[in-house]
């Protein structure tokens, strides 16, 4: 009888300790779940449209001067497709890749700065 009394008091004490620590552990934030905020630059529609217009002009000038680049053309079309779907950051990235893939045309002047 005495052993049963001690067993009941030990079980009650353990239950009390378990019930008391559960709410304390519920508010603890695990250290491995903290993530940094990834703030990225998202260009506006007008910025991407301006870049696409410049790349398109360069592509046309390159084709007329027989400086065709398949990679530049492919990247321009990918940029245009992303632009149509509203993914402006990816469109700008592809437009810049297309610009970099275009060969340097000797004596090429941008249409905006050329005198007429």
Assess whether pLDDT exceeds 60 at residue 115: no
The secondary structure of residue 29, as a DSSP letter, is P
pLDDT of residue 116 exceeding 60, the answer is no
Q: What is the pLDDT of residues 10-33, one digit of tens each?
A: 766 666 666 666 565 556 555 666
- Would you place residue 41 in the very low, low, confident or very high pLDDT band (cuts 50, 70, 90)? confident
Using alpha carbons, select from 92, 88, 109 the residue that is nearest to residue 100: 92
13: region left, alpha or beta (phi > 0 left; psi from -120 to 50 alpha):
alpha
Quickly state the pLDDT bin for 113 (edges 50, 70, 90): low
- Rounded to two decimals, the pTM is 0.57
Structure tokens at 55: 């790349």
**Per-residue pLDDT reduced to its tens digit, 68-81:** 888 999 999 999 99
Q: What is d(CA 30, CA 24) in angstroms, rounded to the nearest whole number?
A: 13
Q: How far is Cα 83 from Cα 45, in angstroms, rounded to an integer? A: 8
Q: How many CB atoms lie within 10 A of CB 104?
A: 7
């Amino acid at each position: 009888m005495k052993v049963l009394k001690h067993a009941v008091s030990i079980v009650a004490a353990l239950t009390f300790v378990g019930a008391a620590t559960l709410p304390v552990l519920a508010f603890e934030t695990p250290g491995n779940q903290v993530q940094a905020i990834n703030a990225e630059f998202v260009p506006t529609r007008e910025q991407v449209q301006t870049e696409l217009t410049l790349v398109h002009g360069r592509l046309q000038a390159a084709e007329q001067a027989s400086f065709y680049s398949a990679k530049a053309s492919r990247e321009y079309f990918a940029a245009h497709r992303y632009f149509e779907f509203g993914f402006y950051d990816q469109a700008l990235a592809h437009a810049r890749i297309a610009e970099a893939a275009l060969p340097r045309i000797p004596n090429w002047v941008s249409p905006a700065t050329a005198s007429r």
